[in-house]
Amino acid sequence: MTRYVARRLLHGILVMWIVSTAVFVIFRLVPGDPAAMTLGLDASPEDYEALREELGLNDPTHVQYLRWMGNLARGDFGKSITHGYAEVSGLVFPALGRTLELAALSILLAVIVAVPLGMISAIREGTWVDHIARVFTTLGFSMPTYVMGIGLLILLAEVFPLLPPGGYVPFGEDPVKHLSQLIMPVLTIASVTAARLTRFMRAGMLEVLSADYVRTARAKGLTERRVNYWHAFRNAAIPLVTEVGVNFGLLVGGMVVIEQIFIWPGLGWLMIQSILTRAFDVVQIAVLVSAATFVIVNLLVDLTYSWLDPRIARS
Amino acid sequence: MQVPLLTVENLSVRFKMPDQVINAVNGVSFSLNTGETLGIVGESGSGKTVTVLSILGLIPKPPGEITGGKALFEGQDLLPLSTEALRSIRGQEISMVFQDPMTSLNPVIKVGEQLREALWTHNPSESRSNHRRRGIELLDMVGIPQPERRYNQFPHEYSGGMRQRAMIAMAMANRPKLLIADEPTTALDVTIQAQVIETLKAARRETGAASILITHDLGLVSQIADRVIVMYAGRIVEEGRIGDIFSRPRHPYTIGLLASIPSITQRRTKLYSIPGQPPDMANVPPGCPFHPRCAVGGERSVCRSDSPRLAEMGTRHQAACHFTEEAASWLAGRAT
């Protein structure tokens, strides 16, 4: 078990090293260096040269690379020139927190809907419950999030003005308003994720229900409830954990559109704003943090997996 | 005369697939007395497993469908019972051991837990520690070493033979009146097979349960069964006491099966095998389903048009063949 955890950790660190190197290469070695990006095209050559010197861009590449990796290793994410020399971590981490809040609530809602729906759909395969569930999942699948999001906005903020049309107020300041601002983005994201997870749960459950050990459980005289919700579900839940984790990871990095629609100042929103204001020093850290979140989520998924499936840890 | 423990009358089961209908079991009748062991022999697809699964309501419906017949267990017909009513029979009165112990135990639940569950579901008022003690006793009974330690292990920590023993322990947990073993040794190594059969025999002695042993291994049947049913294409083609079937087989299929057993005493250059393939169950030949492969009646028109009924061949010996006498002399001719 310890070896398994150590191996997964090492794997995660390796991925992070590759990502940070890729970010370094993309932001420094492609045409149009960070100084030009920050200052724009109409900057004077003197300003440009001064900024290059300040950013250390005149040093040899390997020195720049070592400095970059060294700073990251120490957790020093630097200061943002475009944001008046504010700490980049002070910009990125609060944004990450807001994105995680949105993603976690959406995933939670999606799981609450998808697990029972997918299970019932599989147990009652071919009945009206199954058909309704499948119509719902197909709808969720085929509708792009921005259509769903804008549709909700028009319906719940414009036609029936029940909810604020986006924006962000910290929970500590006004809990009710904070939560009401969460409703629409969470509904939008959860509906798509729930559709995906329902389909996944249904397929997994159907496979497990025809397994030999489910027949054994029936032959022992167990109740249908025990057979379905204990013997079958426990086996179907294992791959679901991975699926939920992967979906969560994708959400953290893929919230750009939703955060724009609902003006939610999360990581995706920060990235777009930083690109528009040419704050490359913020963008690179935002990309890195987004990737790190994905790696950490996957690590947690692997650990949960080994805890749920006794066969994994030992092999 | 004693009332049989189980009487199956005219059981028919079919599977309705989108493009075809498979008549898996066609009018099967047999009975089993208390304490008796019945062997059911046949090739894959002959309907032997479906027959016993139907009795316990374990065939998947759809596509499976019981189209007729009765299965009287102690006088009560099991076929029309609801799942809930069957529950008190399953695992308590009639229990099953399945073919593949690698897939028949739930991989994410400890063996002891699965064993305890079999006890608990039929005696929910009993305490957890009593179930646990009884579970460990059962593991010990089927010859699993260190039963206390093994009780808390997962199926993947057991070897194949041990898993099948655990399955037997689970099946015997509530001292059933009837134990059905569906090819219990097919998936195991030859050396383990004998041990598992010994375990089955011991478990039966211990509880006095009647049993049905499904197999395609006639040698195994001869070791443990009192009577044998030979099935072909979802029908019974011959039935009789073990001695009669082995010494005086009357159906050409049974004769063929017996001739296919390699013998140590006789030197033969080539092992006999029944010609042809098992029938396609969606397209069973008309008349006697065995006629395309039959050495006796293959060319005769009656075999191709009329399906023979089971006829008495002697005391508790029946065969379904138009030419049982010729089959017998064909056998005599082969032996010399």
Relative orientation angle of helices B128-141 and B190-207, to the nearest 10 degrees: 130
pLDDT score of B312 = 82
Read off the pLDDT of each residue in A270-280 and give the average, rounded to a whole number: 86
pLDDT score of A215 = 92
Grouping H, G, I as helix, E, B as strand and the rest as coil, residue B38 is: strand
**Which residue of chain A is at minimal alpha-carbon distance from B179?**
A219
The amino acid sitting at A247 is N
A positions 269-288 inside 8 Å of B (CB): none
Judged by average pLDDT, the poorest of A89-98, B230-239, B307-316 is B307-316
pLDDT score of A242 = 87
Helix (H) or strand (E) holding A10: helix A2-29
**How many angstroms away from the CA of A295 is the closest CA of chain B?**
27
The ranges assigned to domains in chain A are 90-278
Burial class (CB in 10 A: 0-12, 13-18, 19+), B218: buried
> How many Cβ atoms are within 10 Å of B321's Cβ, its own excluded?
28
Tokens matching residue B234: 């979802």
pLDDT score of A315 = 47
Predicted confidence (pLDDT) per residue in A59-77, tens digit: 888 888 999 899 988 888 8
Burial class (CB in 10 A: 0-12, 13-18, 19+), B190: exposed
**How many angstroms away from the CA of A130 is the closest CA of chain B?**
16
The amino acid sitting at A86 is A
pLDDT score of B334 = 61
Predicted confidence (pLDDT) per residue in A106-124, tens digit: 999 999 999 999 999 999 8
pLDDT score of B336 = 42
Alpha-carbon span A175 to A156, nearest angstrom: 20
**A308 vs A210 pLDDT, higher one:** A210
Query: Which residues on adjacent β-strands are paired with residue B97?
Result: B181
pLDDT score of A313 = 56
Residue range B6-225 in CATH 3.30.460.80: no
Predicted confidence (pLDDT) per residue in B50-86, tens digit: 999 999 988 887 788 888 888 889 888 988 888 888 8
Using CB atoms, which residue from A210, A221, A231 is nearest to B106?
A231
Is there a contact between B91 and A220 if contact means CB atoms under 8 Å apart? yes
Predicted confidence (pLDDT) per residue in A184-194, tens digit: 999 999 999 99
pLDDT score of A33 = 72
Is there a contact between A213 and B104 if contact means CB atoms under 8 Å apart? yes
The ranges assigned to domains in chain B are 6-225, 230-335
ipTM: 0.86
The total number of residues shown for chain B amounts to: 336
pLDDT score of A314 = 52
Strand order in the sheet with B37-41: B94-97, B178-182, B210-215, B37-41, B227-232, B235-241, B317-319, B311-314
pLDDT band at B96; cut points 50, 70, 90 = very high
**Closest by alpha carbon to A111, among A235, A205, A241?**
A241
**How many angstroms away from the CA of A221 is the closest CA of chain B?**
4
B positions 251-270 inside 8 Å of A (CB): none
pLDDT over threshold 60, residue B49: yes
pLDDT score of A109 = 96
Alpha-carbon span A259 to A245, nearest angstrom: 21
- What is the model's pTM? 0.82
Grouping H, G, I as helix, E, B as strand and the rest as coil, residue B233 is: coil
pLDDT band at B1; cut points 50, 70, 90 = low
Predicted confidence (pLDDT) per residue in B212-252, tens digit: 999 888 888 888 889 999 999 889 999 999 988 888 888 88
Residue range A90-278 in CATH 1.10.3720.10: yes
Is there a contact between B117 and A220 if contact means CB atoms under 8 Å apart? yes
pLDDT band at B335; cut points 50, 70, 90 = low
CB-CB neighbors (< 8 A) of B156 in chain A:
310-311
Alpha-carbon span A249 to A294, nearest angstrom: 5
From the CA atom positions of chain A, what is the Rg in Å?
Answer: 24
Judged by average pLDDT, the poorest of A93-97, A289-293, B128-132, B303-307 is B303-307
**Closest by alpha carbon to B290, among B46, B35, B3?**
B46
Query: Which residues on adjacent β-strands are paired with residue B180?
Result: B96, B212
Read off the pLDDT of each residue in B25-41 and give the average, rounded to a whole number: 90
Alpha-carbon span A276 to A114, nearest angstrom: 38
Q: Does A225 touch chain B (CB under 8 A)?
A: no
Read off the pLDDT of each residue in A191-205 and give the average, rounded to a whole number: 93
Strand order in the sheet with B6-16: B21-32, B6-16, B64-73, B76-77
> How many Cβ atoms are within 10 Å of A315's Cβ, its own excluded?
8
> How many Cβ atoms are within 10 Å of A99's Cβ, its own excluded?
27
The amino acid sitting at A258 is I
Q: Do the beta carbons of residue B106 and residue B132 sit within 8 Å?
A: no
Alpha-carbon span A231 to B108, nearest angstrom: 9
Alpha-carbon span A71 to A65, nearest angstrom: 10
Best-predicted range by mean pLDDT (A30-34, A45-49, B221-225, B256-260): B221-225
Q: Do the beta carbons of residue B111 and residue B162 sit within 8 Å?
A: no
